[in-house]
Structure 1
Amino acid sequence: MAHHIDINCDMGESFGKYTKGRDAEVMPYVTTANIAGGYHAGDPHVMRRTVALADDHDVDVGVHPGLPDKLGFGRRTMDASPEEVRDYVVYQLGALRAFADQLGVPFQHVKPHGAMYTMLSESEEHARAVIEGILEVDEDLIYLATDMNIYEVAQEYPIRTAFEGYVDLDYRSDRSVVIPKEKTARDPELVADRFISIATEGVVETPSGEQLDIPAESICVHGDTPNVVEILEAIHDRLDDTDIELTSVADIV
């Protein structure tokens, strides 16, 4: 029986005259695009163009909301209440969804970014506020859960939730991921090995050799990794020799 998996990527993170990522090169290799909503990265023009680019490649579209911190790329801790974080998510969701509606592109999911994701993982109150805010906008949206803490909270709500695995970041023994201050190139073959392992067995090996259960329906490959295209090429090269089928996350959860 085939193993079905989604590949998601954080995209649309350029703004103004600053270019981040290789979206045009990456888009043909993924099935889901998490598009920045303008707070940690992105701007209205980049948002519109990225939605259109995803549509050109039949890639599913959702929002990648972050904290209002472009200077820190949404990776710095902020003192924000659950209600404030909920409003940040709803605001960015609405902004990106308007572009999707304008272009006639279905809007599929929400995936938190950076320090916001960490906040939701560490505070159940914040996690609940965001999930409830999403449901109040659209009960059909999918929530990409970036770790098991958030995933377990989401299971208590009537929201479709996909558990996400990582292949270009290292895992700690508690299944949290190591977020480097600066992204560096990763070994494409090692990343491809991790992709196959998660997709077929639901496990990944830590740098110390420990085997962790990662029951992912979607696997993230980060668009700001310097050699992201080479990584995706290595993953796709492996698919021909496996029974893995790339599938929209909406058809999995």
Structure 2
Amino acid sequence: MSSRLASFKGPSTPNSSPVQHRQASNIPSSPAKSTESTFHRKLRTLLQELRAATDIWDDLILIDGLKAAKSLVDARTELDNALSSAPNRLPRTRIVGPKLDLMEQRIHDLDGVLAKLQKQFRKMTAIVDNLEVLVIDAYRNKGCQWVQQEPLWTTWSLEKFASTIPEILIPYHRALNGHIALVNALRSHSISFEESRSAISTWTEQPWLEGSGWEANWEELCSVEIDRWNR
């Protein structure tokens, strides 16, 4: 974004967090709270869409993906138990076949979760691109001072939102690659039970988003900086 906004003197470096800034300086609320422009409304909508994409992301990980991963590991454990208890370790085909079919279905389900995660990441990227378009339009219609210095609602300007929000793509991209690696590990039928359990634990914890995912880093900020955020 910074390269394409260079002609508008580019975004400045963000200051300290909005909560601390407001407490320290006691800056009054912007008059924009009662006189919202199209740019205010579009920014709020874009960020609410971004939050919705991260909510879907978490549901995919903690509901669909976790269910498929656990079922895959359970099927392998049940097959191992059946093999170890079968006479002469020669089980009938009806024992092995259905379990293998179930495993393949769960791997297919995990691949489907990855495809949906990729879709959500593309949606996040598109939202950030639309935010850039919004800022460029605001520069043309409102001028540099309004974009860079005028608080939209509380303390943050449109330029500060535009230069800060895109940072969210970095941890989610890392998370996407991390989940792809975990599915590739679980895909192998030679993976041990201990390795499978560790993979599922990492899948659930999402360490790539710790401290930098939407809920941890952006939700409170938006509730402070954006009027009518949850309406």
For the aligned pair, the TM-score class normalised by the smaller chain equals: under 0.3
- Structure of greater Rg: 2
**Structure of greater relative contact order (alpha carbons < 8 Å, 6+ residues apart):** 2
Q: TM-score, normalised by structure 2?
A: 0.21
Which structure has more helix as a fraction of its residues? 2
Q: TM-score, normalised by structure 1?
A: 0.20
